[in-house]
Amino acid sequence: MPNPSYDNPVIAGFHPDPSVCRVGEDYYLVCSSFEYFPGVPVFHSRDLVHWRQVGNALDRPSQLPLPPDASASDGIYAPTIRHHDGRFWLITTNVSSGGNFIVTAERPEGPWSDPVWIDLPGIDPDLVWDEDGNCWCAFAGAHGASFFGVQVARVDPEAGKVLEGPFPAWAGTGLQWPEAPHLYRVGEWWYLLIAEGGTERGHTVAIARAPSLSGPWEGAPHNPVLTHRGTNHPIQSTGHADLVTTPDGDWWMVLLATRPRGYSPNFHVLGRETFLTPVRWEDGWPRVGPVNEREQAPSAWHPVEEDPARDDFDAPVLAHRWISPRSRPDGSWSLTERQGWLALHATGPSLDQPGCTFIGRRQLHPESRTAVLLDPDAGRAGLSIRMDEAHHYDLEVADGQVAVIARIGPLRQRVAERPVPRGPVTLSITTRLSRELPPAADEPSGLHVAAPDYIAFHVGDEPEPLAELDGRYLSTEVATGFTGRVIGMYATEGTAWFDWFDHGTP
């Protein structure tokens, strides 16, 4: 009987730069988190297809120092997770403060240690141990360095000391931004897997091999081993990959990719997501791809209980999936002040600037519905769908009015508003890929076919939205950067109470 099939992506929403390791029959995966706190989500799987978040590696301010005004898409870049000598090791880069560092844990759920900083330049660090027990770090060279490519150094990961190097390794095939290095020992060869071409539509995966870590490195004759550039494939930007073997000896690759939609140049709104694809070996080299929306699964098949779509805020702590820009001060939220409600206390006057009180989760589905029950008390609060401080749509309640507010670059506009009774009110934001109705008479020609999706804002049980907006302005192609949409609750004046939050498909 053939193995069951699975759908890509295996981890939907803004989960880029995946790195994976296996311990026995268990797999663990981490992703970049950029300016969001807590940082570096940690996932567990038994079959590489079904993943459940079990923690965040950086869940304390001491582990994740971010300046209050850290730019969007700064923060934590490209972690690598490995298991060695009974411990989990994670190395990553804080581009906003401190550079490269290592944290360790006995269990993937944590607690993870405070950072051990390591004096190496560049980004995207990787860890590997050779047959003599030496630890080596490969990383992408810093911009402006004398060697702009992958470099390798022998390090003491406990002390954060560089023992040898760094030495130039491989600069790739000549495309821009050779990055995302991972080293593997396979038989008599060391293999160096990298990404090239930038993380946009030209993204590729390339590989080289050498008899030792000191080289010489020989690129695969069929490089790139994976790319979707220049194709009309619905999955694009394939790159930043990591390899893993199953207990049966089969090879698989996790990687980031996007699902752009709309009119040229197409727009991707969920960010770069985590995909899975099989790997085969021919003549001493891996062969990969293309990455399909539906693939045949690994031989193991262990579905796990998915994270619930709804949170009633009855637990004593926030679930792992909740994130906030830059920080989440203890005094800005509470689960105990009103039983079964999440309290948010305003720490900043506007979502347009860092420092606001915002707790959200990644948008997971191209077509989605997110709803909350909000009691704004006498404050100003609501539900927001955001890319960053300059690109967000808000459904806000204050002073007896509910309004839809659009912030697009330098422009801020109150799109629609109406009175709302005081007391708890249900707010919802829906996204859909196509419009059921013809374009409005005053809509510019072409607007209704260009958008990747449409975002509608509802109050209570009213069937007609208070407003519906073009989703392209909350896309990476417009906002720029490396993140995706996050939908969340906020308070910018006084205190607001949220009884529940639900994010799923319509």
- Angstrom distance (rounded) from CA 105 to CA 120: 22
Domain boundary among 296, 330, 360: 296
Structural domains of the chain, count? 2
Residue 506: predicted pLDDT? 87
Domain boundary among 267, 296, 325: 296
Closest CA to 371 of 417, 307, 431: 431
Residue 24 sits in the same domain as residue 74: yes
Q: What is the pTM of this model?
A: 0.96
Q: Is 259 helix (H, G, I), strand (E, B) or coil?
A: coil
Residue 339 sits in the same domain as residue 282: no
Closest CA to 14 of 498, 490, 481: 481
Residue 1: predicted pLDDT? 54
Residue 264 sits in the same domain as residue 336: no
Q: Is 332 helix (H, G, I), strand (E, B) or coil?
A: helix
Q: What does the block give as tokens for 209?
A: 């091999």
Q: How many alpha carbons lie under 13 Å from residue 84 in its C-beta half-sphere?
A: 19
Bridging pattern class, strands 486-493 and 357-362: antiparallel
73: part of which helix (H) or strand (E)?
none
- Structural domain for 212, as ranges: 5-296
- Angstrom distance (rounded) from CA 278 to CA 448: 38
For 372-438, give the DSSP string.
Answer: EEEE-TTSEEEEEEEEETTEEEEEEEETTEEEEEEEETTEEEEEEEEE--SS-EEEEEEEESS-SSP
Domain boundary among 238, 267, 296: 296
**Residue 17 is a catalytic residue:** yes
Residue 286 sits in the same domain as residue 353: no
Place of tokens 């009309």: 232
- Angstrom distance (rounded) from CA 382 to CA 399: 12
Residue 454 sits in the same domain as residue 372: yes
Place of tokens 């779509």: 309
Q: What does the block give as tokens for 252?
A: 């698989």
Residue 292 sits in the same domain as residue 337: no
Q: Check whether the bond before 38 is cis (ω within 30° of 0).
A: yes
Residue 307: predicted pLDDT? 84
Residue pair 320/53 in contact by the 8 Å Cβ criterion: yes
Residue 377: predicted pLDDT? 85
Q: Is 506 helix (H, G, I), strand (E, B) or coil?
A: coil
CATH code of the domain containing 317: 2.60.120.200
Q: What does the block give as tokens for 475?
A: 């896309």
CATH code of the domain containing 97: 2.115.10.20
Residue numbers of the chain with a pLDDT score lower than 50: none
* Set 47, 124, 179, 453: catalytic member: 179
Residue 227: inside a domain, yes or no? Answer: yes
